[in-house]
Amino acid sequence: MISTQRCEYFKNTMVFFPRSSLGINIKSVNKKVYVESTDNGFNSIARRAFYVGDALLTVNDEKCTSVKKASRLLLDALKTKGIARVLVERPVEPAAVAFVRAVLLVNKANVMDPKMPDDVLAICTFRRIEANAAATRTSKEIYS
């Protein structure tokens, strides 16, 4: 999936302040890292810097192609220097915005079912043992 729609490009400077947090969820699709959501908390740096659907192209002039690399670059820059410069691609035309929305809806990972709570597992185990015990019991025939 490659977008040929018009986008705006700009450098975004993020500054780390005491008690602030990065506050960003990112997603990588086809070696492009997109902002999936931002934390709306007062301490969030990303809330002021990014919109949902922005693509993070570089952090301090290093190319971002995966979530792991983008996270590492952002966190390292903010922790060591207190500042990070990010090249951002933001869709402008409605077709480009629709394209990015579709990209964000792509679910790459096979989502596993959430872990069953321990009390539910214990009840199921008990009922299974109970059912197996009932199945092995012999019953008296009433029509003999």
Question: What's domain 7-105's superfamily in CATH?
Answer: PDZ domain (2.30.42.10)
Q: Going by C-beta distance under 8 Å and a sequence separation of 6 or more, which residues neighbour residue 38? A: 23, 24, 25, 44, 46, 47, 50, 52
- Closest to 77 in 3D by CA, of 65, 64, 90, 66: 64
Per-residue pLDDT, averaged over 24-40, amounts to: 89
For the stretch 89-143, pLDDT in tens is 999 999 888 888 888 887 755 555 667 788 888 999 999 999 988 877 777 777 7
Question: Domain spans of the chain?
Answer: 7-105
Reported pTM: 0.67
Alpha carbons 64 and 5: distance in angstroms, whole number = 21
To the nearest whole percent, how much of the chain has pLDDT over 70?
91
